[in-house]
Amino acid sequence: MHTKLPTYRHVALRSLLLATNLLVACLFQAHAQSYPNKPVRVVVPWPAGGLVDVAARQLGSRLQTSLGQPFVVENKLGSGGNIGADQVVKASADGYTLLFTTSALTINTAMRAPMPFDAVKDLERVAILAFGPLVLVVHPNSNITTLQDLIKTARAKPGMRWGLVTASARNLPALICGKATAALANW
């Protein structure tokens, strides 16, 4: 029996809505009427129209309504998010240039050398706005309906093929598993 799960976009947007309301409340309390007193630049190091961009624009719109200043989203792509992050690092540390990114920044910090900046020293996390689930899916005609079914199939068919929907930092766990397919068969 297949259980219908909420879509990634649905879960992410619901999480974003809750986080936005909490962030706005925190900003009101922390800065009262002093911040912001000019437009705020929000750097998104991902493509326009993607989930991260849409989430940043929704947050910016809500913050603009609540705080009375524009939150202007700028997409600065490249190097797995590092180009946009580097622009934020090099901006004035006055709270008027924000980075809206994903866990890719953490992955880049751990796996890329040298980095143009030190994410731990040069950036300060303000809020975690959403969590995105990682979901394992199979073709509906595969007769695999549970993780145990997948393990049995992997044991019966060594070298079983699999693929990724997108190539991003969110897929790091799958990439690691792909290098150790034998471990799944022996699980």
Q: For 146-161, how does the pLDDT look when each residue is reduced to its tens digit (9 = 90+)?
A: 888 888 888 888 777 7
**8-122: CATH number:** 3.40.190.150
pTM exceeds cut of 0.85: no
Burial of 109 from C-beta contacts in 10 A (0-12 / 13-18 / 19+): middle
Q: In sequence order, what DSSP letters do the residues of 83-133 get, joined into one string? A: HHHHHHHHS-SSSSEEE---THHHHHHHH-SS-SS-HHHH-----------
Q: Where are the domains of the chain?
A: 8-122, 147-185
Using one digit for the tens of pLDDT, what is the confidence trace for 36-79?
999 999 999 999 998 899 999 999 999 999 999 999 999 999 98
